[in-house]
Amino acid sequence: MGDDDGLTDDAVKEALRETPKGALALAGLTVGLLMLAWVAIYVFVFLPRGPVG
Amino acid sequence: MSHERDVVRSELRWGLVTAAAVSVIMVFVIFAGVVMHINPPSNVERINPQNLHLSAEFTEANLGTKVEANGQVTARIVTTQFAFVPRCIVLPADTPVTLRLSSPDVIHGILISGTNVNTMVVPGYVSQVHTVFRRTGDLLMPCHEFCGLGHSEMLATVRVVPKAAFHPGADGRAACAEK
């Protein structure tokens, strides 16, 4: 099968090793941006509105 | 095997990232609650909704803003289908104020735009919110819990005036002046 699409087993293994890094980078970036947005709204919008309880 | 080990390791690492994110949020929330006294309004106080209008506190004459004998500024509001009574309340800025609300009919909810004031008003209970208004002006207070066909028409005005311009009458009551 590896011969049919011109990929060697080593090339497939290499690709499988690299792919999760990109996924983690993308997930980390999106979650990081989400956290930044949450903190920014908390600090710059919610807290200045003053005490409530 | 080694591939599976890599997967488990990366999942564990990602678990740590999410745990850290949740921890950061919890630290912020605890800091705001303990240090800055920003907490969800919490008040368990029962009242009979069937004779709310006859209760000592929520009779029509006692609604609106009143400066109590101890100086505490309290606004009492009845939320009913589909209006707030009174429709406008006046409150001083930079002063601790207390809002007390109750409903004779169905569940309502209030928020005051541009502030952290936000609570449900459940029949049978008195909702109470303490806050300090930092901005002056007319703030919109809509019902934010669907309460029936007239829900979208149910709104009131909170008129926040500078502390020096807040002049309650001799009986301690203050009402919105006609504009």
Same domain for B70 and B127, yes or no, is yes
Q: Helix A9-41 to helix B2-34 angle, to the nearest 10 degrees?
A: 0
Are residues B32 and B54 located together in one domain of the fold? no
Say yes or no to pLDDT of B167 above 80.
Answer: yes
Contact residues on chain A for B13, CB-CB shorter than 8 A? 24
pLDDT of residue B38: 85
Is A35 or B1 the better-scoring residue by pLDDT? A35
Q: Which residues of chain A have pLDDT under 70?
A: 1-4
**Lowest mean pLDDT, pick from A17-21, A41-45, B43-47, B54-58:** A17-21
Whether residues B10 and B28 fall in one domain: yes
Q: Please count the CA atoms within 13 angstroms of the CA of B36 that sit on its side-chain side.
A: 20
What range defines the domain where residue B28 resides?
1-39
Question: In whole numbers, what is the pLDDT of chain B averaged over residues?
Answer: 92
* Residue B44 located in a structural domain: no
Q: How many domains does chain B have?
A: 2
Q: Are B84 and B133 within one domain?
A: yes
User: What single string gives the DSSP state of each residue in chain B?
Assistant: -HHHHHHHHHHHHHHHHHHHHHHHHHHHHHHHHHTS-B-------B--GGGGGGSSSSSGGG-EEEE-TTS-EEEEEEEETTEEESSEEEEETTSEEEEEEE-SSS-EEEE-TTSS-EEEE-TTB-EEEEEE--S-EEEEEEB-S--STTGGG-EEEEEEE-GGG----TTSEE-PPP-
B87-119 pLDDT, tens digit each: 999 999 999 999 999 999 999 999 999 999 999
pLDDT at site B144: 96
Angle at B25 between CA B24 and CA B30, to 5 degrees: 100
What total of structural domains would you count in chain A? 1
Chain A stretch 9-38, residues whose beta carbon is closer than 8 A to a beta carbon of chain B = 16-17, 20, 24, 27-28, 31, 35, 38
What average pLDDT does the segment B30-34 reach? Answer: 90
Cα three-residue angle B131-B141-B44, rounded to 5 degrees: 50
Provide the pLDDT for residue B1: 55
Task: Return the pLDDT at B105.
Answer: 93
How confident is the model at residue A3, as a pLDDT?
56
User: In this complex, is the C-beta atom of A2 within 8 Å of any C-beta atom belonging to chain B?
Assistant: no
Q: The domain containing residue A14 runs over which residues? A: 9-49
Residue B157 counted as domain residue: yes
ipTM: 0.75
- What average pLDDT score do residues B124-152 get? 95
Helix (H, G, I), strand (E, B) or coil at A52: strand
CATH of the domain at B157: 2.60.40.420
With beta carbons under 8 A apart, name residues in chain A contacting B127.
Answer: none
Whether residues B53 and B29 fall in one domain: no
- Asked if residue B179 is part of any domain, the answer here is no
Contact B10 A24 (CB under 8 A): yes
Average pLDDT over residues B130-155: 95
